[in-house]
Structure 1
């Protein structure tokens, strides 16, 4: 009686795998459960791809509008004195708090690490394709938890301040102004601010770049500003406003890169899930066919013996 109960409770997949190979091959029940989980993952990745595709158009419109702020900054600094190579630079690395978007956050983190390590093969370039002078002791501030976690492992001594919950949807100028205000009030000494972010090249391509914003001292020393009579607080206010402008332009462009990278990542994940479903379905069908064949053989053999 106990032997009969044990036989009736045995999984049907053992007959497909055979008693000798049951330990090395997945049973039909395991394949079925895995197939079900992969199908659920495919549904999630397709939904996330659809959401990212919808958000991408909005992010690109915000990026186009935000670039005007960066153009205005470039025109201002075109008439100011260039910062000297021995000036103190404060680096601001821009990422976000969300993942599932490929290597979009790792790109700025790796570019920052290479720049601080003095890599001559891949230096940190600004928007004019010129290398940025980096001192290994320069302070760093990070926007976003993803780059924060990556840079804390190797550059914790340089990090002075971190920000999160910035630009949870599309970044606004209020977000950039708030970050600029906290940077100025932090008391970290600096002559210029170097913003490291992802530059939007196309819907499938981006590259880490940097933009340098000169401080109050650099604006005061420029010949273009000396030609006019201005109040004492003018250059200070202009430096703060220029920093907020540059941060806003970098935030919206980095956000567009993130949404584009998330759409591409979810598209690749959906394709991989589809390929895995096809492979698992074929394996399940073969195992089920083998199980049915073995059962038929047992029935025919028993009938012949009788």
Structure 2
């Protein structure tokens, strides 16, 4: 009678233990899959960090060379201030300089925020380099976007690319008195910030008192304005490219560190779950041996 009474309870206990073991094994399989996935992600982000570190050396070298021309450009416009007898509101064209690439932190958001601040204080038309800032600015300033460019910044930008962009702006950018180029300034390998460079039109250059002091047989203001625009765009592209590579390296380093932390946490959970399954199996074996 005692054996017949106890047998159903033992069967139920064993069934409950088997169900717990199955659930434990399912959880262990899920943890194992997550561990494998996170390890793969860590390998990818680590490789991308190495690639970005290699590219950063080239980008910094190109930036140092380009900034020499940019400094000469700024010196020119600093000595030819526009002085109008009747001050009027200038027609402004904002040029947002970024790229199409992702996985580089807030490099594109920095440009978008700066453009929104500039437009809020002095309204104007927009020209955009890069699909990422275009997607961000299209949400609030779609009606102001006149021309956009993509496919720029995959490698170190060249003066030929900047000249082509300047030519398209001259042809299709509409009427403007001043172009304000908003790009990321490379401060160090760990920091960057958006800054604005102004380039005036050929008409505004001809009207500048400093420019009129020079005696010239023929008007060169148009060629000078086009070259200055291409030069400023080139400087902004190269410096922005260096800032983007630096930001991508930092982002990939942070992602790798986060993946390593997650791997440690998941490995601890996996070890605890595996230990619990083994303990349950040992209890089952010992209980069966005691019953025999």
Q: In 2 relative to 1, CA 187–301 (structure 1 residues): closer, same or farther, beyond 3 Å? A: closer
SS in structure 2 at match of 1:100: coil
Show CA shifts across 1:244-302 (max 9, x none). 00000000000000000000000000000000000000000000000000001001101
Structure with more of its chain in helix, by fraction? 2
1:110 paired with 2:96, answer: no
Counterpart in the other structure of 1:98: 101
Structure 2 match to 1:123: none
Q: Distance in 2 between matches of 1:41 and 1:85?
A: 56
CA contact (8 A) 1:49 1:262 kept: yes
Over 3 Å counting, the alpha-carbon distance change for 1:115 and 1:16 in structure 2 is: farther
Q: CA deviation at 1:223?
A: 2.2
Shifted more, 272-281 versus 84-93: the winner is 84-93
Tell me if structure 1 keeps the 8 A contact 2:147–2:173: no
Larger Rg: 2
Does the alignment pair 1:58 with 2:58? yes
The change in CA–CA distance for 1:139 and 1:13 in structure 2 (over 3 A counts) is farther
1:1-306 matches, within 5 Å, as: 14-15=20-21, 27-82=27-82, 86-118=89-121, 134-135=122-123, 138-306=124-292
| Structure 1 runs of 4+ with >4 Å offset | none
- Give RMSD over aligned pairs: 1.7
Return 5+ residue gaps in structure 1 as ranges. 1-11, 119-133
Q: Deviations over 1:82-118 (max 9, x none)?
A: 3766111100001100000001111110111123234
How far residue 69 of structure 1 moved from its aligned partner, in angstroms, is: 1.3
Q: Secondary structure of 2:143's partner?
A: coil
Q: Given the superposition, is the C-alpha separation of residues 187 and 143 from structure 1 closer, same or farther in structure 2, using an over 3 Å criterion?
A: closer
The question of whether the paired residues in 2 share the 8 Å contact of 1:195 and 1:210 is answered with yes
CA distance in 1, matches of 2:160, 2:88: 32
Contact 2:60-2:242 within 8 A present in 1 as well: yes
Number of residue pairs matched by the alignment: 272
In 1, the alpha carbon distance for the partners of 2:43 and 2:217 equals 61
> Secondary structure, in 3 states, of the residue corresponding to 1:193?
strand
Give CA-to-partner distance per residue, 1:23-67, whole Å, 9 cap, x none. xxx710000000000000000000000000000011000000000
Q: TM-score, normalised by structure 2?
A: 0.89
Confirm or deny: 8 A CA contact 2:82 2:205 kept in the other structure. no
